[in-house]
Chain A
């Protein structure tokens, strides 16, 4: 599904601020895997997700999706395959546009936006049904500008938008980090349900050890631009937050 080969990304190359955000990362992710990505601040988690989404061209290495080399494709060219939710609830939605308008654009992800009214009564009814799936009562507020909603509501909608058209890959970058505990839990429950229902291949970055332990089928720990730990199946299932914190400590000691 996703094949990453010797991917390197250096920010500010040749300047005093040079950062090797990814160092020859190689990684294969199968269809249907739910990969949780953890790691300290600046370890390269967001950079990895951005590289998959096509936010920037890598310095070296290759990325292929479904056997197709996408290394040189821009983010909007890859959008057909990728659904994204960002850490900042403001990033995923257009605030002055209504819920319905945002959802309409999301249901056209990766396909041409044509010069015809797509948001007709039939489409409204369909979007109403889909947004009811969130169970937040947003289906009655489809004409409300999204900017008037709470962060949790916006994040839940962004999640719906990312999956309204089934993506090959779902990228979640600390998508619950900016929410209060209750909304975070609600969005996490939604995530789990949507990922299961649609059998989505998912990468989820989190700093929450509980989240990392309880969700997903595989766990990656990033450290200084490399994948320091890659646990699957039983090894992942047997994890506790305490074990993970122990692994972090080991990495710190090794770095000394």
Chain B
């Protein structure tokens, strides 16, 4: 039971990672792998600020801003210095490793005895409610951000962002500086990813320099599961619904992780299970159409 609740809470916290990857991968068509660094950046900055006694809400906000800046760095290297997109992400991600160590001053920071956004729930008498409270908070946050993003991508600015990923020639002809759009977009994506790192650290009760390693695949997994789900509902275009599916994808994926651990596999086996699972999810739509005898 605890395990399931834990999986749901973490799934919701990691949903922001999925949404961030969704923005770069699906909206901007950009393979951003800054995530490994920016998720840890969110976690480590939150840990350092909370330990210094900063208000938890401010710490979360600061983490998002830091993530945004990390993303703009990747975007600027890609657009202004004309470095390959993947490489731009790798460069920033690598640099962030040192930055994150500097921020924490060590490789791991416990958050057991400091005040976090989840501290108010610790005093709830009812044990079930105490476990449910963080889930409700995360659910509220996820819902708020999905609503916000849904609104954002319907504004004139948001339409221009989507068109930048969809057809750069067209949107440049409408007078949009596409470089600037990409930098802002990758920034927003990494702000969400850093938020994810911040929430995960506070929920788990520690930030660790390794918490982001390979995390990009988790994000990809939620996006791909999300797309498959949205496809089942025949939804290929509406962003709000696609984001909800990404969040569900993130929770399902955490469930799978929990299940893997509960059948006795070692945590170190998680990465290969993840990789195989992601591969299967990618193959699923192809397998379905193959069964129906349709050429792809």
Say which one of A27-35, A78-86, A213-221 lies at the interface with B.
A78-86
Q: Are A76 and B178 in contact (CB under 8 A)?
A: yes
A97: min CB distance to chain B, Å: 6
Which chain A positions have C-beta within 8 A of B237?
A: 96, 98, 145
A53: min CB distance to chain B, Å: 8
Q: Are B174 and A79 in contact (CB under 8 A)?
A: yes
- Determine the distance from Cα of A118 to Cα of B154 in the docked complex, in whole angstroms: 8
Which chain B positions have C-beta within 8 A of A80?
A: 175
B69: min CB distance to chain A, Å: 20
Describe B's contact surface by its main secondary structure. helix
- Number of inter-chain CB pairs below 8 Å: 95
Across the interface, name the chain B residue whose C-beta is closest to A162.
B173
A253 at the binding interface (Cβ < 8 Å): no
Q: Are B157 and A114 in contact (CB under 8 A)?
A: yes
Which chain A positions have C-beta within 8 A of B176?
A: 76, 79, 113
A57 at the binding interface (Cβ < 8 Å): no
A30: min CB distance to chain B, Å: 24
- Residues of B in contact (CB 8 Å), total 24
Which chain B positions have C-beta within 8 A of A77?
A: 175
Say which one of A5-13, A63-71, A100-108, A124-132 lies at the interface with B.
A100-108
Which chain A positions have C-beta within 8 A of B160?
A: 105, 113
B171 is contacted by which of A94, A104, A115, A162 (Cβ under 8 Å)? A94
Q: Are A104 and B159 in contact (CB under 8 A)?
A: yes
Describe A's contact surface by its main secondary structure. loop
A105: min CB distance to chain B, Å: 5
Which chain B positions have C-beta within 8 A of A91?
A: 167, 169-170
B84 at the binding interface (Cβ < 8 Å): no
Q: Are B154 and A94 in contact (CB under 8 A)?
A: no
A82: min CB distance to chain B, Å: 8
Which chain A positions have C-beta within 8 A of B152?
A: 115
A94 is contacted by which of B155, B158, B162, B178 (Cβ under 8 Å)? B162
B163 at the binding interface (Cβ < 8 Å): yes
If A93-B170, A96-B237 are given as contacts, then 5 extra A-B residue pairs at C-beta distance below 8 Å, sorted by A number, are A94-B171, A96-B162, A105-B174, A115-B157, A118-B155
Q: List 19 A-B contacts (CB under 8 A).
A: A76-B172, A76-B178, A80-B175, A90-B167, A91-B167, A91-B169, A91-B170, A94-B170, A96-B166, A102-B170, A104-B159, A105-B156, A105-B163, A109-B173, A113-B157, A113-B160, A114-B156, A115-B156, A118-B156
